[in-house]
Structure formats: C-alpha cells, structure tokens
Amino acid sequence: MDFRNTPSRPSRRGFLALAAATGAATALGGLPTFAASAAPRRPTESPLLAADAAAKNQLWWQAPGSATSMIEQGLPVGNGRLGALASNDPGRELLMITDATLWTGGLNDTLESDGQFPYGRGDFGSLTLLATLAVDIPGHDLGAVDNYRRTLDLAQGLVTATYDIAGVTYQRQVFASRPDDAIVLHFSQQGRGTYTGVISLAGTHGESTTANSAGRYASFGASFANGLRYGAAVTAYSGTGKIAVTGTSISVTGCREFTVVVSGGTNYAPDATAGFRDPSVDPERLARSKVLAAARESARDLLHTHVADFRPVFEQFAVDLGTSSAAQRALDTWERAQARWRDNVPDPEFEAAYLQFGRYLLISGSRGSLPIGLQGPWLDGNDPDWMGDYHTDVNIQMTYWLADRGGLSDTFDAFADYCVAQLPAWTDVTQRLFNSPTNRFRNSSGRIAGWAVAFSTNPYGGSGWWWHPSGNAWLCQNLFEHYEYTQDRAYLAKVYPVLKGAVQFWETRLVTTTVTDASGATREVLVADRDWSAEHGPQDTRGNTYSQELVWNLFENYRTATRVLGRDTGYGETIDGLRQRLYLPEVSPTTGWLQEWMSPDNLGETTHRHLSPLIGLFPGDRIRPDGSTPKEIIAGVTALLTARGMNSFGWANAWRSLCWARLKDAEKAYQLVVTNLRPSTNGSNGTAMNLFDIYETNPGRGIFQIDANLGTPAAIVEMLVYSRPGRVELLPALPAAWAAAGSVSGVGVRGGFVADLSWRDGTVTEVRLTSVGGRSTTLTAGGASRRITLKPGESVTVRSL
C-alpha cells in the first residue's frame, strides 16, 4: 500500500471558487421563488472549454426536433427553475418553457368518500407549461440545409446547432442561465448570411401577449384559479440589421447575428404559512426587467457568465468507463443508441455519457427552486401524465439517488427544502384527515401524530390519490442519507423536524402481534398497520416488508440524528427500542423468496415493477452481502430479485440494476443499464432520441419519466463505489465491458468523503479519498481493506491496496 496524506486538492474546488465569484451562491435554503436578484458578476476570462476538451461530454445529432416531437427530440436546458426543450429546427426554433412552480391545484384537503384524496388537475393540480417561444426564419427551411448538426454540451450547459445554406454556416446557441435567470438564444453565422424572421412568445393557457415597441419586448401575465400569478417576457437585440416590434411579435430583418432573451416565473413561495404565495412579486413585470437587464449584456458575456456558473458544478464529477471504437465515435448519439442495442457491443463512452446526461438534468432541473418531479421542468403540454408530480413510492427518491453519488450534493437542496417547506401543511392535513373512518389505511390505534403523505404530492402541501403511510419514511431515508454523505450538521438540523414528524407518525401507527419462529417459539413484535405494498398485492395487510424495512431505517436514522444534534436523545433511545421490536422479513419456505408480506405465499405479480420487499437491500442497506447478513436472507433476496426478472422498464430496471450492484452481480446490473439504453420506437420502453427515458403506458404511447434518467446513472455509480458510514468498497460490481481501464472522480461516499479512483484490468490502480467531514472509514477493494483516518478537508491517495 502506497499511502499518502495530502491537503485537499485545490484543482476541483478551485472551480467552486470561480462559481462563487459569479454571484451564483449555492446557499442552503435559498428561496425558490422568482425574485429580483443582484446583477451577476461577469467573468473576466473565458470559462469556455476548448473544442477537444468539450467534445468528451457532448451528445450530438444530425436532425432537429419539431413541435410534435419535443419529448423525444427536444434538447433540455434549464437553470434549475426554468426548463425548456429546444427543437433546433433551422426554420423554426421552438422552445417549450416550463417553470417548476407553475402548478394548478392546491391543498386538496377534502377527501373522497373512500377516505382518499382527489387526483385531478383542478383539485390536486398539475405542473403546466409556461410558454412557447418560436423563432421563425422562413429562409432556413430544413429541406434546404446541409451538414445539420446539433450538440448538447453537458459540461457547459449549452445547446448548439449548426448548418450550411449556400456556403454560409449558421450557428445558434441556446442556454439557460442561472446567474441571469433567463434563457438565451444567440444566432450567428460565418459567411455573408443574414437572418430575417419573427420571434413569438405565447402562453399556453390562453393568455394574450402584448408587445412594447419602445421597449422592444413582448410579454404576458395572468393568474390561475388557485391565485398563482405568472408571466413571461422576451426581448431581442442585434448589432446589425433591424429588430422591431410588429404586432405582438418581434421581427428580425437582415441581422448578421441576434440574441433573444426570455424569462418568466410565478409568485410561488415555499411557505405554507403564506399560502405558498409571495404577493410582492409581479411575475410579468419581473420577467420584463430580467430580460431587459440581460439584454444590456453582450451574448458572449451572457454565455461566459452562464458557463462560469454551470461548468464547475458539472466538473465536480468525471467518469471514464473505457474507450469506444472509432466506428462508434463516428455515430451520432441516436445512431449510437441504436448500434448499442443492435450489435450488443459495449460502448463505454456512450454509457458514460448517459450517466453524465443524468447529471446534466439534475443540474439543470434542481437548483434553487422546487425539486424534479416526474418530468422535471421539461413538458410538452399542460397535461403531463400523473400531473408531472412528486411520486413518493420510488420516483422522487430515485431522482435524488444520483445527487450525492454523482458529485451534485447541492442539487439535493431543492428536494430537502421542498420537504421542509411542505411539512406544516403535510402535518396539518395528516392530523385532520388521516384517521378518517373511511380511510382504510387509518391507524387502528385511533391515535395520530406527525405527518404522512399520499402517493402523489404537489407543491402546495397537497396530497393526491391514495394515502401512502410508508412514504414519509422513504422520503426521510433520502433526507438522512444526504447527511451521511455530507456530514453537514446544519443541514441535518434543518430537516430534523421532518424526520421527527415521521417518527412520531409511526410511533402511533405500529401495532403488536405475535409471531412464531421456525423453532416454534413465539414472540411479540411490532408491525406496521394495514397497508399496501406500494401498488402491489393486497391492500390491507399488516407488517409488509416494505413498511417494516422503511420504519426500521427511519428509527435507526432518527436515533443517529438525535445523537448528532444532541436533541431529543431520550426520545431517540425510546424510538430505537421500538426499532428493536420491529418484525423483520423472513424467507418464504414456499417460494424461497424474501417475503413481501407476512405470508409464505406469493400474493402478487411475480415480475411486478416495484421491488418494495427489497428496499432493505437498496436503497436501504440492512441486508448486506458481506457476511453480516445471514446467507439464507441473501439467498432469499437473490431469489426474489431473480424472480422479478430483467425485463421491466425505466425506473424498475434502474432499481433492479441497483439491487444487483448491491449483490455484486456486475453483469446483471450492467445488462439492466443496457436495457434502459434500448432505443424507444413508437413509444416503446427505452431511450428516446434525446436520451429521455420513455415509459410505454399503452402500446404505441410512450411518455417521458425522468426517474430512470437519474436512477440508471445512480446504478452505474453504485457499480463502481459502494459506501455506508464506516465502509467504502471500490468496484463492487464492475462489468467486463468497463473493466479494461477507467476512472471516476467526485463520487460521494456515505460517511463524509469523496472518492476518486482509477482502475485497469478490473483492479483499482489508485484511489484518492477526500474528507468532506468524515473522519474514518474502511476502504475495501478486491478483497483487501485498509482503515483510513482523515481530518475534514484532507485527502489520502492509495496506489495499491
């Protein structure tokens, strides 16, 4: 072992300093509202990557999208709050723009006759589109352009399209700037070309756009029935040609280059006591002031400001899974997806790019506003499936499994802040409604405390569809794990009330029952009250594995939190006493599987999408294939996972992959990643042209669900690094396809570390562990282990374990 303690490496962190210099601070608990902000500081030097350096993290295509194919072909940009899909059609650039807070609906606290929540776009609500922006350039019909190419630069957060017409090369860039809080489109050309066209901004709920010729902007504003105000504005400018307001549009005539700036938002506020509104915000007016402020800057400065903000975040993590062939590199992204499936030849660079695309989405969709729901801020209409909401029985949890693993801890804040902001409403609704006599899931004890949610939640404290009693524990699992990664006590203190409320809920919900062990001895145990094993099987069973595991995890984490924070420590011990009395699942003598219910029988669908009974394997880690868990439990878990099968869809495949990674079956874990990369055709399950994950709801109808785009990358990372407090294992499930040589850096490690490692021929050649708060852990690779002790900020590099 070559062992060397060093001070924290400055290089990667140096970029963080650059980011801070732009004024785009990433403080905890920032207000996720559309608000006035100080003028960004502009970088004095270009932060742009050189072309060859940028190419490593670029996806590219040889065709644009169109108005009817945005979900499959639109390229996503986002500043963490505003998201847009861009068509990049030369003759008609189209942006479908979503603000993460543009939700209909409300508290939704009138239960239906069965004690469950309404789930409609009026009552519960739905995420909706803010606006469409079109830039029509009639002379640039796609049928007449050559060498069309568009690129999604993941590292710099930049969409670029280029094409030739009659010897002139035209280029457009689209980016969503967080520092300038706007989406920018810059059109330029090389040659003697000019642009003539029309820029149109339109609402999607019947608003009227008005234009101001003196101000050279167009805008609209309106409000929903729920009182939410919203608005958007666009302006354009050029150093050549003519830009003028024509009717409600902006015309561009004979411009050698021009720039379009669009912004918008709502008066949503993450404050239950204020009814989730900030009455001081006039969104249309604010949008106007933002676009006009940005338009005082050159397009170059806007781009540099954006890249200086985006790139350092992206570069907190890097991955190299091996070298692809020249033939693969010659293919565009869609061709590569097709070839990967057709030929079954590993394409390590493409597979790494898919991981980075997930990180790109997280950066673009989860900074400074509401968290990413089922689609993030990337809609193509006002009726997203399942409202584009927050699903609490795997989807939102999976979405955030990537954050810490993928070097994007800060993107987790949107999720944590959401839970904290919703807590008062969740608590109020739970305590008023959960024990309604018509709610089949009510507490038999008749007592109620803390909070719970339904399967769906909105940003107004509202729940939708059925109560989901275990959902609170699962949300808390994510919240606590983020603490484990960061060791950030201030963060833990922030989310502590959320954890405690969930614990209190469960304290009133557990019931006692008597079980008989294999030996014939009986004992009294605590079990969860009547419930459903997340969308699967009977709806009135007690002690479901799903609930038992989640509550076990919640109680354990809670006790840790009380100790870390020095709060409620006595209560923490009480709760841990309950944890020790929890019934834990057994292996069925009938099926050989870990039981999903307190029954040896298979009460559900063998290949059901959910892996609820495996939640103690992943995302939990009570079940560990390291000798500490009885081997018959490991065998039962393996048998159940095997029975669930290898052929589901998006998030279900990602979860399976994560479980196989935990079981160190690298090839199965990899196969599921590959299955998710399968090109989607006619809505079939798999990956769309723009790499969005598509779930086939009905034959021929596929929808975008973002969770697999983030969960599959999480699985890739989990194949490379496993961690829990006190232990980090390198390359636990490295598939042959990536074994030759590779590296990954910036991987979050539970216990408060970041790992950078490289390998060759399947063996770790070097690892650097940096403490972000952690003090000691055991580093394991290839069967060898080493105890590591570091001070926060210190690094250690190990060359041969």
Partner 1 sequence: MQQPSTPRRRLRTGAGRRRIRPGVPLVAAAVAVLLGAGAVPAQAAPAASPAPSDAAPTTVGLAERPFMGWTSWSMQSSKYPGLNPDGDYSYLTEANVLKQADALATKLKPFGYEYVNIDAGWWRDNAWVPTFDEYARQTPDPVRFPRGMKAVANHIHGKGLKAGIYLPVGLEKEAYANGAAPIWNAAGCATADIVYPDLRTTNGWDSAYKLNFDNPCAQKYIDSQAQMFADWGYDFLKLDGVGPGSFKSGDNYNNVADVAAWQKAIATAGRPIHLELSWSLDINHAADWKRYSNGWRIDTDVECYCNTLVSWENSVDDRFADAPAWSRKAGPGGWNDLDSLNVGNGEMDGLTRAERQTYATLWAISKSPLYTGDDITRLDDYGLSLLTNREVIAIDQNGGAPARPVSVAGDQQVWGARNPDGSYTVALFNLGDAPASVTAHWAAFGFTGNASVRDVWNSRNLGTQKNAITAALPAHGSRLFTVRPGTPLATTSYEAESPANTLSGNASVAGCDACSGGQKVGNLYLGGTVRFNNVTVRKAGIYTVTLAYVSGDARSATVSSNSGNGTSVAFPSTGDWGTAETISVQLALNAGANTITVDSGTWYSPDIDKIDVPQTL
Which stretches of the chain bind partner 1, using CB under 8 A? Answer: 61-66, 68-69, 72-73, 89, 141-146, 148, 163, 166, 325-327, 331-332, 334, 338-339, 341-345, 681
Question: With respect to partner 1, which residue has the nearer C-beta, 17 or 144?
Answer: 144
Question: With respect to partner 1, which residue has the nearer C-beta, 190 or 325?
Answer: 325
Question: With respect to partner 1, which residue has the nearer C-beta, 146 or 605?
Answer: 146
Question: With respect to partner 1, which residue has the nearer C-beta, 61 or 310?
Answer: 61
Give the integer Cα–Cα distance in Å for 336 and 331. 6
What tokens were used for 474? Answer: 């699962």
- 494, 500, 505, 511 alpha-carbon torsion, rounded to 10°: 150
Compute the chain's Rg from CA coordinates. Answer: 26
* Whether the Cβ atoms of residue 655 and residue 394 lie closer than 8 Å to each other: yes
Nearest distance from residue 331's CB to partner 1, in Å? 8
Nearest distance from residue 638's CB to partner 1, in Å? 25
Nearest distance from residue 161's CB to partner 1, in Å? 10
496 Cβ partners below 8 Å, 6+ apart?
A: 561, 565, 567
Nearest distance from residue 231's CB to partner 1, in Å? 31
Q: Within the chain, what is the greatest distance between any pair of CA atoms?
A: 89
Give the integer Cα–Cα distance in Å for 629 and 105. 46
Question: With respect to partner 1, which residue has the nearer C-beta, 17 or 166?
Answer: 166
Phi (first) and psi of residue 50, to 5 degrees: -65, 155
Nearest distance from residue 191's CB to partner 1, in Å? 15
Residue whose tokens read 């109808």: 701
Question: With respect to partner 1, which residue has the nearer C-beta, 347 or 389?
Answer: 347
Question: With respect to partner 1, which residue has the nearer C-beta, 187 or 334?
Answer: 334
State the DSSP H helix or E strand holding residue 650, giving kind and residue range, or none if neither: helix 650-662
Give the integer Cα–Cα distance in Å for 352 and 57. 9
Nearest distance from residue 156's CB to partner 1, in Å? 23
Nearest Cα to 70, choosing from 18, 124, 153, 132?
Answer: 132
Nearest Cα to 376, choosing from 114, 704, 668, 91?
Answer: 704
Eight-class DSSP state of 277: B
Question: With respect to partner 1, which residue has the nearer C-beta, 242 or 342?
Answer: 342
Nearest distance from residue 646's CB to partner 1, in Å? 14
Give the integer Cα–Cα distance in Å for 617 and 614. 5
Nearest distance from residue 21's CB to partner 1, in Å? 40
Question: With respect to partner 1, which residue has the nearer C-beta, 79 or 648?
Answer: 648
Give the integer Cα–Cα distance in Å for 199 and 181. 20
Question: With respect to partner 1, which residue has the nearer C-beta, 219 or 687?
Answer: 687
Q: Report strand pairing: 727-730 vs 776-781.
A: parallel
Give the integer Cα–Cα distance in Å for 158 and 306. 9
52 Cβ partners below 8 Å, 6+ apart?
A: none
Nearest distance from residue 144's CB to partner 1, in Å? 5
Nearest distance from residue 715's CB to partner 1, in Å? 21
Nearest distance from residue 405's CB to partner 1, in Å? 29
50 Cβ partners below 8 Å, 6+ apart?
A: none
What tokens were used for 475? Answer: 């949300």
Nearest distance from residue 439's CB to partner 1, in Å? 44
Residue whose tokens read 């079956």: 665
What tokens were used for 428? Answer: 């109020």
Nearest distance from residue 334's CB to partner 1, in Å? 8
Nearest Cα to 104, choosing from 84, 92, 122?
Answer: 122
Cα three-residue angle 99-104-109, rounded to 5 degrees: 135
Nearest Cα to 336, choosing from 709, 674, 742?
Answer: 674
Question: Strand, coil or helix: what is 401?
Answer: helix
Question: With respect to partner 1, which residue has the nearer C-beta, 61 or 434?
Answer: 61
Question: With respect to partner 1, which residue has the nearer C-beta, 336 or 359?
Answer: 336
Question: With respect to partner 1, which residue has the nearer C-beta, 324 or 705?
Answer: 324
Q: How far is CA 517 from CA 115, 548, 586, 587, 688, in A?
A: 36, 17, 10, 12, 50
